[in-house]
Structure 1
Amino acid sequence: MKNFSDLPLKVRMIILVSFIVIASVFVITVALTTQHRHQANVEFDLRITSVMEAASESMKLAVLIRQKDEVERLVKSLLLTPDLISVTVYDANGELLASANNGVVLPEMEEKRSATITVEQIEIVEFQDFELFHGDENNRKHEEEVVGSIEAIFSTKRLEVNQNMMLRFAAQWTLVVILVAIGLSYYFADALTRPLARLVDATQKIADGDFTHTVENTARDEIGHLSKSFNTMVDELANDIEKRMQTEQALRKSEEHFQALANKAPVGIFQFDVAGACTFANPKCADIMGVTEQDVLSNDWVIWVYPGDQGRVHTGWRKSIDECCSFYSEFRFTHQHEQLTWVICEIYPERDAMGEVQCYIGTITDVTAQKIITEELKRSNDELDSFARIASHDLKEPMRKILAFGSILEEDYLSAMDEKGANYLNRIISAANRMQNLIDGLLIYSRVTTKAQPSKAVDLKIIIADVLSDLEVMIDETKGKVIVENLPLVLADSLQMRQLLQNLITNSLKYHRDDMPPEVLISSKLMGDMVEITISDSGIGFDKNHAERIFGVFERLHGRGGKYDGTGVGLSICKKIVERHGGTIKACGELGNGAQFIFTIPLSEADLHV
């Protein structure tokens, strides 16, 4: 059997309203019926009392003088009273004086009344089944004299009929009210629950995926507002779901695009969970590791690392997981047939909005070819360094001897030579000096890379001060002027910075105009994590079409000899130093209007965060 709370809302409302109405009608009907019955009994008693009092008063004299004929006449006339069935009169001694009835058989439930006839007042006596009228004994006067008594029987049938009619009417009225109440409760329950039923039906359709369904309700009550709010909610929900579907579709496309990119990527891409287990690996990853994709997903990837690197890699990787930090390492994988593959592995934690690590994403790049090139480059640099040492010794030694013997000839035998021989000797000594300078330039050029020092914070103001100190004689001879503005700290090789600035300042001082002393301005401008250094001069300048050419090795814009002599290596060394530091260099100029050399160098950490 269902609980009341399990019944439909409409049935519960009908039952509840019907119960309240029926209970109320029942209570009201019982109260009204009881009141009516009591009122009818009271009125019946009052009427009987009035009849008996009138009969006692009218018969008092006839009973006193014992006029039986008069008593019988009065008795017969008394029988005309409604509901009176029989009347009997007795004298004071109880002797029957007169008796009469309507010939009606006495039913079981009739009202029997008796009254005494006294000279002064009527005494009322009450029996168990009926009432007799008697006087109040406390107020009875001792001088009263009882002269007789009257017994009367009244019919209560009409009273009972009226009361039964009243009960039937009440029952019929109650039934009608109950039926009306049930009908009204059904109507109102249906009116109240019909919109709710539509809401339930709409909810079910929405649950089935039909977001176009709306609830039609024009009422302005709470249910009407609820229906409008429900329709608004459905519209917003439909929009949210549409946006979500679009987002999911875009996400699927993005995932497909990422999958396609990952499958075609030239590097290995993989993903780990927070415990370090691999959950995704693209084909290139497995190819670099020399295993299958399933092997990558089902095993600890470190086991494929070259045994000589395993301990270092495993320790670093576990530390990254324990500390939720990134991992970077360069190591080797062992392929089949003992083939080794050099890789650079980078792994970074992916965090949510709360900063919690959700997974790790990493890449593996095959750098075997770069390693081979690096080794070959190192070998080439070693060979170049060896050549530079040989050049600095074996090539310069003959030059020193030529210069030495040339100097002896110039000192001891110049007077013995004619003008032509002295010219030849002078040209030999000049060529030997140029050759020695050229060898020194080549040696410096080759050592820009092979003898480079690690980069560190370098104060350019100090470097330039040292350079200007070295060039003091040249500045005095040319009556030049060098203006140095505020320069920052850079991240560079201090020796190479000295070489760079010395070459550029020397050029600006050397290539000056005849009509005015040289003036050099050194300034700087910050450009993100780089600084742009500009060295401007007021010299002879150059044709802008040769802006690239002047940085080539042995390239010169002026002929040999004369005022602007040189080896053609200085600007090549400048370019190589700048590029070795990750910067760029360029030249700007115009014939007769000076030149500008502009280069960029990385800022040091100190000036980078200012």
Structure 2
Amino acid sequence: SGSLARPLHQLGRGAARVAEGDFDARVESDAAGELGDLIASFNTMVDQLRKTTVSKDYLRDIVDSMHEALIVFDADGAVIRTNRAARTLLGERVETADVLRFLGKSVAELEELLGAGKSASWDVGCAAVGRDLQVSCAPTGRGGLVMVLQDVTRIRQAERALRLQAKRLEESNRELEEFAYVASHDLQEPLRKITAFGDRLEAKCAEGLGETGRDYLARMRGAAGRMQTLISDLLNFSRVTTRARPFEPVDLNEVVRGVVGDLEVRIAELGAELRIDKLPTIDAESLQMRQLFQNLIGNALKFHRPDVRPVVSVAAEELTHTEGARVRLTVADNGIGFDQKYVEKIFGVFQRLHGRSEYEGSGIGLAICQKIVRRHGGTITAHSKEGEGATFIIDLPRHQVSRQTTEDAA
């Protein structure tokens, strides 16, 4: 009938427009009944097709805007999709053979990647384009494979330059340490002679020297003694790496007990109070741990406030927020402290915040501490305020990746 012909004709024209890719071809009709339901369903289908097509176009635009080349293989290893970057790199019509030839891979290797169903990545140097590429693959979920080629030339160049620089720095540090050790060792003999002849001069000719001569002799011997201390400390500094031993489990409780025993006389003289918490066992070099605590506790006693009983606390805690098991050790005192702005300076070689007349020492003890801590893969810093004591904080790994000694490249 005429009432059906018009809606059917409209529906036919709408279907034809959809077939040609026109997804705005909605049918406007007031037909009722089953025909009305059919037209409504047709319009719903057109709306869904339009949304799907827009989404696909949007997704295609995003993929084409990528700087990385993207190639999609089906389960049989055929290339079914590429983006603009891939076509620029491999040609407008990308075939599987083009990809394999470019990457230096065989058909069997591609089949292995497809069959594995796992993600994989590797680097490939492409002489044809003079680039280093990182190839990353991931399964599609339908037996296929998505491959992304990322240009990592600058990253790899930077990494190679960094490794070369680190190697040169390590060699330079090793040469400097060897020089410091040899030079310090060779300087000791003439110093011993200066000291020995000074002793003889005082013993045999003291009366003939007069007061001025004896003063000069005392100054000479004092300077030689200070030089001997500096050389000895410099040797200790270089030995942190030149005479390092393998790491092994070290009970820090035993280490600190030994240090307290060594400092027993000084502790008694000052009436100092030591508060030692339970300490962990870590992978370390025992002698260097002893040297570390000897320097830190010794400094805490040395830099005490006049007329104030020294109190030194040694504590430890687990660091749970870091990658890998690490421990934090603290050595705190109630001594003279220092201005926090000097916290970097105090770890320098031969750096002092006070004159020799106030406090003895060469100013290398904390530099040795820092070198020991760095060799063990840790960090050391301090918090202080003048007149309110200082707290030294050492973070160390509980377990070393390798028990073999490693040289400090810092």
Give your verdict on TM over 0.5: yes
Give the 3 Å change call, closer, same or farther, for CA 239–381 of structure 1 in structure 2: same
Matched, 1:538 2:334: yes
Q: 1: CA distance between counterparts of 2:114 and 2:295?
A: 51
SS of the residue 2:232 aligns to:
helix
Q: Deviations over 1:157-188 (max 9, x none)?
A: xxxxxxxxxxxxxxxxxxxxxxxxxxxxxx2x
What letter matches 1:245 in structure 2? Answer: D
Query: What is the aligned partner in structure 2 of residue 352 from structure 1?
Result: 139
Give the 3 Å change call, closer, same or farther, for CA 480–217 of structure 1 in structure 2: farther
Q: Deviations over 1:49-78 (max 9, x none)?
A: xxxxxxxxxxxxxxxxxxxxxxxxxxxxxx
Query: What is the aligned partner in structure 2 of residue 507 from structure 1?
Result: 299
Shift of 1:201: 3.3
**Match among 385, 393, 405 for residue 598 of structure 1:** 393
Shift of 1:443: 2.4
Shift of 1:540: 0.8
Shift of 1:193: 7.1
**Match among 384, 387, 394 for residue 176 of structure 2:** 384
**Match among 444, 451, 455 for residue 236 of structure 2:** 444
Shift of 1:520: 2.1
Q: Deviations over 1:528-564 (max 9, x none)?
A: 23654433210011233433332332221111134x1
Give the 3 Å change call, closer, same or farther, for CA 244–349 of structure 1 in structure 2: closer
What letter matches 2:343 in structure 1? Answer: A
Give the 3 Å change call, closer, same or farther, for CA 371–409 of structure 1 in structure 2: same
Query: What is the aligned partner in structure 1 of residue 355 from structure 2?
Result: 559
SS of the residue 2:235 aligns to:
helix
What letter matches 1:250 in structure 2? Answer: I
Query: What is the aligned partner in structure 2 of residue 518 from structure 1?
Result: 310
Q: Contact 1:458/1:494 (CA < 8 Å) preserved in 2?
A: yes
Query: What is the aligned partner in structure 1 of residue 57 from structure 2?
Result: 245
What letter matches 2:263 in structure 1? Answer: L
Give the 3 Å change call, closer, same or farther, for CA 356–297 of structure 1 in structure 2: closer
SS of the residue 1:534 aligns to:
strand
What letter matches 1:575 in structure 2? Answer: Q
Shift of 1:240: 3.1
SS of the residue 1:444 aligns to:
helix
Q: 2: CA distance between counterparts of 1:569 and 1:322?
A: 62
Q: Contact 2:198/2:217 (CA < 8 Å) preserved in 1?
A: yes
Give the 3 Å change call, closer, same or farther, for CA 566–346 of structure 1 in structure 2: farther
Q: Which has the higher contact order (CA 8 A, sep 6+)?
A: 2
What letter matches 1:209 in structure 2? Answer: G
Q: Deviations over 1:229-253 (max 9, x none)?
A: 3323332332333233223222222
What letter matches 1:476 in structure 2? Answer: A
Q: Contact 1:589/1:596 (CA < 8 Å) preserved in 2?
A: yes
Q: 1: CA distance between counterparts of 2:194 and 2:115?
A: 70
Q: 2: CA distance between counterparts of 1:593 and 1:508?
A: 12
Shift of 1:518: 1.9
What letter matches 1:202 in structure 2? Answer: G
Query: What is the aligned partner in structure 1 of residue 407 from structure 2?
Result: none
SS of the residue 2:236 aligns to:
helix
Q: Contact 1:509/1:518 (CA < 8 Å) preserved in 2?
A: yes
What letter matches 2:350 in structure 1? Answer: F
What letter matches 2:234 in structure 1? Answer: L
SS of the residue 1:541 aligns to:
coil
Q: Contact 1:588/1:596 (CA < 8 Å) preserved in 2?
A: yes
Q: 1: CA distance between counterparts of 2:217 and 2:62?
A: 84
Show the 5 A alignment for 1:36-435. Answer: 187=1, 195=7, 198-219=10-31, 221-253=33-65, 255=66, 257-258=67-68, 298=101, 350-352=137-139, 358-359=146-147, 363=152, 365-366=156-157, 369-370=161-162, 373-374=165-166, 376-406=168-198, 424-435=216-227
Shift of 1:356: 8.5
Q: 1: CA distance between counterparts of 2:249 and 2:35?
A: 77
Give the 3 Å change call, closer, same or farther, for CA 434–220 of structure 1 in structure 2: farther
Shift of 1:592: 1.4
Q: 2: CA distance between counterparts of 1:209 and 1:518?
A: 89
Equivalenced residues, count:
363
Identity of aligned residues (%): 41
Query: What is the aligned partner in structure 2 of residue 528 from structure 1?
Result: 322
* Worse-superposed segment, 470-479 or 409-418: 409-418
Q: 1: CA distance between counterparts of 2:270 and 2:179?
A: 37
SS of the residue 2:274 aligns to:
strand
What letter matches 1:569 in structure 2? Answer: I
Which runs of 5 or more residues in structure 1 are unaligned? 1-186, 260-269, 287-294, 303-318, 336-342
Q: 2: CA distance between counterparts of 1:591 and 1:452?
A: 36
Query: What is the aligned partner in structure 1 of residue 95 from structure 2?
Result: none
Q: 2: CA distance between counterparts of 1:320 and 1:419?
A: 92
Q: 1: CA distance between counterparts of 2:251 and 2:171?
A: 34
What letter matches 2:370 in structure 1? Answer: K
SS of the residue 2:312 aligns to:
strand
Give the 3 Å change call, closer, same or farther, for CA 360–224 of structure 1 in structure 2: closer
* Worse-superposed segment, 568-577 or 510-519: 568-577
SS of the residue 1:516 aligns to:
coil
SS of the residue 1:216 aligns to:
coil
Q: 1: CA distance between counterparts of 2:284 and 2:71?
A: 38
Shift of 1:400: 2.9
Q: Contact 1:492/1:602 (CA < 8 Å) preserved in 2?
A: no
Shift of 1:475: 3.0
Q: Normalization by structure 1: what TM-score?
A: 0.48
Q: Deviations over 1:100-158 (max 9, x none)?
A: xxxxxxxxxxxxxxxxxxxxxxxxxxxxxxxxxxxxxxxxxxxxxxxxxxxxxxxxxxx
Q: Contact 2:194/2:224 (CA < 8 Å) preserved in 1?
A: yes
Give the 3 Å change call, closer, same or farther, for CA 375–586 of structure 1 in structure 2: closer
Which runs of 5 or more residues in structure 2 are unaligned? 90-97, 106-111, 402-410
Bigger radius of gyration = 1
Q: 2: CA distance between counterparts of 1:404 and 1:240?
A: 97
